[in-house]
Chains A and B, each alone.
Chain A
Amino acid sequence: GDSVTQMEGPVTLSEEAFLTINCTYTATGYPSLFWYVQYPGEGLQLLLKATKADDKGSNKGFEATYRKETTSFHLEKGSVQVSDSAVYFCAQTNFNKFYFGSGTKLNVKP
């Protein structure tokens, strides 16, 4: 069935380090792909999305490219900040259902 798999956390980085959080999906058809972020005590917020193969979503310095050949949607940021500390969720939507990955906690140390 349809699913999303993302790398286990927590991921701990120093400020200004490069970030990659891996995400792969399994889907029939052509899903839309999303990255959501959850800050402590809050609901999820959309970070970026891509709706078709080779699309690149970007926001606040974060980027992810929809790779159909590798069924991946890895999240990257060139230089993380302490304020980026949060839980990141990869998700797909297909046939009117939403599937989330298990979440990856990012800790950024000053």
Chain B
Amino acid sequence: KAGVTQTPRYLIKTRGQQVTLSCSPISGHRSVSWYQQTPGQGLQFLFEYFSETQRNKGNFPGRFSGRQFSNSRSEMNVSTLELGDSALYLCASTFQEIQETQYFGPGTRLLVL
């Protein structure tokens, strides 16, 4: 079974731009969560989607948004990029509930200049 895939793996943007990251969960998994990983703040939960609905949300500003499609693939979008948005963005999937074991993708490394 293929693992969680994320595209692109690396991205360079400038301040003020917007960016869209993509995540394809393991086949059959319906829950997708997104995390931001930075050296200073560690791993922080952004949001979780299940059956095309946002089920849980972390404490991030409205510039961070996401969506999930009927095939469980998910995208997250960051608008009006700031330097502090530079991070590794990780996606994780579970079959149904976030309490289950999460399977992580390799991440998308975003650099904002």
Binding site for B on A (CB under 8 A): 32, 34, 36, 41-46, 49, 89, 93, 96-103
- Say if the beta carbon of B21 comes within 8 Å of chain A: no
Pairwise interchain contact A32-B43, C-beta atoms closer than 8 A: no
Nearest-Cβ distance from residue A87 to partner chain B, whole angstroms: 10
For the complex, would chain A's binding face be called helix, strand, loop or mixed by DSSP majority? strand
- Say if the beta carbon of B63 comes within 8 Å of chain A: no
Nearest-Cβ distance from residue A74 to partner chain B, whole angstroms: 19
Pairwise interchain contact A43-B99, C-beta atoms closer than 8 A: no
A residues within 8 A CB of B24? Answer: none
Known: A42-B106, A43-B104, A43-B106. A100 touches B99 (CB 8 A): no
Number of cross-chain contacts by CB at 8 Å: 50
For the complex, would chain B's binding face be called helix, strand, loop or mixed by DSSP majority? strand
Pairwise interchain contact B56-A100, C-beta atoms closer than 8 A: no
Pairwise interchain contact A97-B45, C-beta atoms closer than 8 A: yes
* Among A43, A46, A49, contact of B105 (Cβ-Cβ < 8 Å): A43
Pairwise interchain contact B107-A98, C-beta atoms closer than 8 A: no
- How many B residues touch A, CB cutoff 8 Å? 23
Docked complex: B76-99 residues within 8 A CB-CB of A: 90, 92, 97-99
Pairwise interchain contact A98-B98, C-beta atoms closer than 8 A: yes
Pairwise interchain contact B4-A49, C-beta atoms closer than 8 A: no
6 new A-B contacts, CB < 8 A, other than A43-B106, A44-B102, A96-B55, are A32-B99, A41-B106, A96-B97, A96-B99, A100-B43, A101-B42
Pairwise interchain contact B45-A99, C-beta atoms closer than 8 A: yes
Pairwise interchain contact A98-B104, C-beta atoms closer than 8 A: no
Pairwise interchain contact A98-B42, C-beta atoms closer than 8 A: no
- Say if the beta carbon of B75 comes within 8 Å of chain A: no
A-B CB contact pairs (8 Å), 20 listed: A34-B101, A41-B106, A42-B106, A43-B90, A43-B104, A44-B90, A46-B101, A46-B102, A49-B101, A89-B43, A93-B99, A96-B48, A96-B55, A97-B45, A97-B56, A98-B33, A99-B45, A100-B43, A103-B42, A103-B43
Pairwise interchain contact A44-B104, C-beta atoms closer than 8 A: yes
